[in-house]
Amino acid sequence: MQAALPGSEEESPLSDADLSALLEALLLVAPGPTTAEELARGAGVERDRVEAALVQVEQTDTRGWVVQRHGDRVQLATAPRFALQVRRFLGLEREARLSAAALETLAIVAYQQPVTKAEIEGVRGVDCSGVLTTLLSRGLIESVGRLPAPGNPFQYGTTPDFLMHFGLRSLADLPPIGQVEGRDGRAVLEAVATAALVEQETKADGN
């Protein structure tokens, strides 16, 4: 009897449990963050089933990993509760930490994204070129588009690596900003960022 070649087996209909297990396998071998559409194509099922199965996988809290979502992208990451042991195993205890300026800039990007360099500088009050370069090189932020304004400045947002670095499942897990001088922190960020953009447009019109 001739053995079947790998990949020649006929696919059987997947139960919900098998689909969840298959999605785990696909996410493990994915070279990077993927989408529900790509997972559906690989699993050979409808996207709606993939979305439902992902919800089931996300609700599992007894594994050593968690499902992370960043926009329409999804990936597996180690569970935050094991961060200390994972870092020790990988020898990352001495990993270079982010400076206070980098953390401040990263927080502005995380809460205000998509955001331009001028908007970030409007909030921080200092030039952020060097800090942005650092965050880009660390893979914590990325360019997500250009603002339809004079000069078409780049807009920045966080990356899936940002979620992994801070042990978040999604941006929805970001803690509330809280109060800044008695006002809602997000409102303060939006007001300062808007003022910075208006100033940038005024300068562009003057030129």
Task: Give the pLDDT confidence of 137-179 residue by residue, as tens digits.
Answer: 999 999 999 988 888 899 999 998 888 888 888 888 887 765 4
Global pTM?
0.65
Q: What is d(CA 57, CA 75) in angstroms, rounded to the nearest whole number?
A: 12
Q: Please name which of 165, 159, 143, 166 lies closest in space to residue 69, comparing C-alpha atoms.
A: 159
Same domain? For 112 and 75 the reply is no
Q: Tell me which residue has tokens 């020649």.
A: 8
CB 87 within 8 A of CB 165: no
Tens digit of pLDDT at every position of the chain (207 positions): 444 444 545 567 889 899 999 999 999 999 989 999 999 999 999 999 999 999 988 888 888 988 999 888 999 988 888 888 888 887 766 556 788 888 889 988 998 899 999 989 888 888 999 999 999 999 999 999 998 888 889 999 999 888 888 888 888 888 776 544 444 545 555 554 555 455 555 555 555
Q: What is the CATH number of the domain that holds 193?
A: 1.10.10.10
| Cα→Cα distances 203→72, 117, 197, Å | 36, 15, 10
Q: Which domain holds residue 190?
A: 100-206
